[in-house]
Amino acid sequence: MRLKLPAPMQAAFLEAEAAAARGEVPVGAAVVDGSGAIIARAGNRTLERKDPTAHAEMLAIRKAAELLGSERLTGCDLYVTLEPCAMCAGAISFARIRRLYFGAGDEKMGAVEHGGRFFSQPTCHHAPDVYSGIGEVQAKDMLRAFFRARR
């Protein structure tokens, strides 16, 4: 039995599903403001945009910053289906995201609980509170199915 996911993580999964339908790696993200409202959401678009920085987290952070008119997303939380890479962890830190919730860990490219552990580095100026494993089974299943279909 799967537990009911918080609405922002459900939104992130919908974005991941849409990314997969476009042929992108199924990763989705949602930014939530201090009131709990989803203010931005996105899925991977690296292939579509021919842009290696068009990760779900980056796109959602950009949308939220534009909506709020600030490069600082203090008081905002980020929900993402996969552990952020080093680039996305850097953006999360620079945006001053309050809390990071993610689904599956990423042993190869993750930089929060794997790899370089970006937020644990002494050079990291801001580290969000991190909560992992939110929808982990669903996220892993989605990724496995996506890559299995391509092999």
Catalytic site includes residue 113: no
Q: Which of 15, 24, 57, 83 is catalytic?
A: 57
Residue 2: predicted pLDDT: 57
pLDDT digits (tens, 9 = 90+) for 129-141: 999 999 999 999 9
pLDDT digits (tens, 9 = 90+) for 78-100: 999 999 999 999 999 999 999 99
What whole-number percentage of the chain has pLDDT above 70? 98
DSSP characters over the chain: -PPPPPHHHHHHHHHHHHHHHTTS---EEEEE-TTS-EEEEEE--HHHHT-TT--HHHHHHHHHHHHHTSS--TT-EEEEEE---HHHHHHHHHHT-SEEEEEE--TTT--SSSTT-GGGSTT-S---EEEE-TTHHHHHHHHHHHHHHH-
Residue 126 has pLDDT above 60, yes or no: yes
Residue 1: predicted pLDDT: 44
Which band of pLDDT confidence, cut at 50, 70 and 90, is reported for residue 15? very high
Report the pLDDT averaged over residues 119-148: 97
